[in-house]
Amino acid sequence: MAKLGSVLVVLAAFQWGLTGGIGSLLMSWGWEAEVISFWRALVGFICMLAWMVLLGYHKVPARKPLALMGWSLLAGVGVAGNFMFYFTSVSMSGVAVAATLMYSAPIFVYITSFLARVERPTPVKLISIVGVMIGIVLLTGVLQSGSGKVTPLGVLFGLLAGVSYAIFIFAFKSATRHGSTPGVLAIALGVSSLVMLPLTNLSQAVAVPFADELWLILVFGLVGGGFSFYCYVIGLKNTLPSVASIIAMIEPITATLFGVFVLGEGMDMMQLAGMALILVAITTLSLAQNGPEVLLRLPLGLRGGKPRNMTASTREEGGGTQVSKG
């Protein structure tokens, strides 16, 4: 089971990395960042809704419905910001830079925790933070005068995607204390779709079902907001934290390889050094915490246990918790 769990986490990270590349490809064909972000969330919402119903989570009452809804709404806002800022950054600075900047999101969580005195800084954490900051400088070419590869707005939106992801981390962890994981994801993705709707080019969004690229947009939504979440949730239950932390690097690496070999995005040695520094620093930070929730997409706290609101009549089956009938 441990090997299967690692394979599923690898598959989830690979899909999230692939999502950035597919999104970049769709934007090069004329689709706007807000439109593909909206459809990613919408397809993900449908997938999470189906998962919740098929496994019987919809029959399980929430412990605190108001708290569940409130935190899930905030998680949805974080998802919306993450999706839109990320693909806007991709359109301006390339998928490799955008993915790596977003990968630095845990740093924002730690800096906030230090300032709020929720967590005490340690030498490892401080060195990791400094390493990420230096890596960002190298990756974005700030020291290279006249470099036009990365725009300031692209960097800003990439960092805002990381901040939005940090909001999602905090809200999602809080929401899952009061309800099932598929339920929280369904609410969050549904809310994110509604949040993005007024910001989306409606004429282009409604044209998607009739477009030649419909199949790729559906694949984009499935790997970015549907099947990847299922792989991650199931895989994390059977994967050691240290292993999952290393596996997480597959996401930005996949995005970078897609950008370089499929989209023809070039990276110089200084940018590659900056990317490597960020990956090593964030992975070190995660290993120091001994938990992949610092690093990976879903800080679920699901390691080997049933959701707290499940009753004795529930059982684990097929990689998910299923309600016994009768």
Q: Give one DSSP letter per residue of 178-194, joined into a string.
A: TS-HHHHHHHHHHHHHH
Q: State the DSSP string of 133-161.
A: HHHHHHHHTTTSTT--SS-HHHHHHHHHH
User: How far is the C-alpha of 147 from the C-alpha of 134, rounded, in Å?
Assistant: 17
The pLDDT of residue 322 is 35
By 3-state DSSP, what share of the chain in percent is helix, strand and coil, each rounded to 5? Answer: 70, 0, 25
Spatial contact of 164 and 34, defined as CB atoms under 8 Å apart: no
Residue 242 has pLDDT above 60, yes or no: no
Identify which has the larger pLDDT, 149 or 183.
183
Return the SS3 of 308.
coil
Given pLDDT bands bounded at 50, 70 and 90, which one contains residue 259? confident
Helix (H, G, I), strand (E, B) or coil at 25: helix
Sign of CA dihedral 195, 198, 204, 209: positive
Provide the angle, in degrees to the nearest 10, between the axes of the packed helices 33-54 and 181-196.
150
Contact in structure between 28 and 251 (CB atoms under 8 Å): no
274-308 residue pLDDT tens: 888 888 887 777 666 654 444 444 333 333 334 33
Amino acid code (one letter) for 105: A
For the stretch 163-215, pLDDT in tens is 888 788 778 888 888 888 888 899 999 999 999 999 999 999 999 999 999 99
Which band of pLDDT confidence, cut at 50, 70 and 90, is reported for residue 240? low
Which residues touch 206 (CB under 8 Å, ≥6 apart)? none
Top pLDDT among 129 and 316 is at: 129
Cα-atom radius of gyration of the chain, to the nearest Å? 19
Cα 24 to chain center, whole Å?
A: 16
Q: Look at residues 47, 30, 135, 141 and name the one whose alpha carbon lies nearest to residue 91.
A: 30
Beta-bridge mates of residue 316: 321
| pTM to 2 decimal places | 0.77
**DSSP calls for 251-286:** HHHHHHHHHHHTS-----HHHHHHHHHHHHHHHHHH
Other beta carbons within 10 Å of 203: 8
Please, is 190 exposed, middle or buried when counting C-beta atoms within 10 Å of its C-beta (0-12, 13-18, 19+)? buried
pLDDT, residue 35, reads 96
Interval 92-102: pLDDT, tens: 888 888 888 88
The whole-chain average pLDDT of the chain stands at 78
